[in-house]
Amino acid sequence: MCLLLSNKKSYFRQNLSELGLERVKNGLKGESAASDDDVASDILSHYSSASETTSVLEEGTGEQVDEQTAQEETEDKLKQCIDNLIDKSTKTRLAALESLRQAFASRLLYDFLTERRLTVSDSLERSLKKGSGEEQAAAATVFALLCIQLGGGGEAEEGFKMLRPILTAILMDGTCARSLGMCCYVSAAEDGEDLIKSLALLESVFMSSYPNREGTLPTPKPGSSGLHSAALQAWSLLVTLCPASRLTVLHLPKTPSVSQSSDVNYRIAVGETIALLDFEVDDSETLCECLKSLATDGNKHRAKNDRRKQRSIFREVLHYIENEDFTEEKIRFAVENVYIDGWMRRRIYDAFKEILESGVRHHLQFNPLLRDIFGLGPPLILDAAVKGNKISRFEKHLFNSAAFKARTKQRSKARDKRADVM
């Protein structure tokens, strides 16, 4: 057995460089021999094989088609979708938006979109201004994905400044609220004017669900519950960017009123926000009693699945409030892991997962923006054997062990930063 382990370790060391993991062995902190542009170029050369969804963009690309041909075919179909965004037919525009949503969520298309970002932004602006409610929601989602593709910075910020007033004007459903929050999170500076305005806008939306002076909840309008939940979650996402000095007044609903809300997602969003902010309250005993009530809710008028979901979340929230203990979660993708070790980090991960869906793991692996947010370092260049998961579980274990120290160091820095903020 010892001889077998020795042989495996020897094999892994000999092939470490070939797998493109040598810099991970050195802690992911060493300087790469390649420039940032070279790294991005190498990563983007693989994007056409990474889709996890079924869409029109995948037709005609078989295993025997060489990578360059497949990439050209994919880009031709993307160009057609972009052209269709200004078609006279609503059905055609909606189909184009859905195809772009699938492509943007499942693949990294930075080079392609950088050359066409103004064209895409102009077309999305048209849909947001003149489209129906369904088209506006679809365009808002695609715009948020475009910001994620562009990786923040000047290009995404320029697009957000152009479209923020429109998103603000049509903030009538949860999709637009989530898109506004994500676009601002990716694009805005920590002390930027757009961040403060977006926080205030989202706050005004979910505050309309608060009980009046007599403690009576307002009569919900159709679709308002979903909007309030999404606005609160988007607000919570943006709060993760703010230093404590920006949060001088916390306009959260009084916790006892949460149990009266008919929407389970809103109740859960409030509970998660309380845990995320981890703020001091004058009457902590009342807060804990309310959380216990929600954690053991047996109201038969609520759906069984809703009760189960609510109880699970509020048990976590209550445990955190009482013990300051968070159960760490490990998200696996390719040969790496990302660690969710706090409520702020969970809110950020959940926000990206909501919009990227199954493509979140691909973006964690290749998108420099997400890798920077989660402290993963530059994207790894892996050969076909690793990408196809053909290395053994033992070798993956050795790889993860080599990267663990660097991850731990990065997570410790993140904890220190959060401690300073809160």
The residue whose two tokens read 């020795």 is 6
Q: What is the CA radius of gyration of the chain?
A: 23
Buried b (16+ CB within 10 A) or exposed e, 227-256: bbbbbbbbbbbbbbbeeeeeeeeeebbebe
More confident residue, 190 or 228: 228
Confidence tier at 151 by pLDDT (50, 70, 90): confident
Torsion of CA 288, 291, 292, 294, to 10 degrees: 160
Cα(228)–Cα(269) distance, rounded to whole angstroms?
Answer: 9
Cα(253)–Cα(256) distance, rounded to whole angstroms?
Answer: 8
Model pTM score: 0.75
pLDDT in tens, 396-410: 555 555 555 554 555
Mean pLDDT of the region 11-16: 38
pLDDT in tens, 339-372: 999 999 999 999 999 999 999 999 999 999 999 9
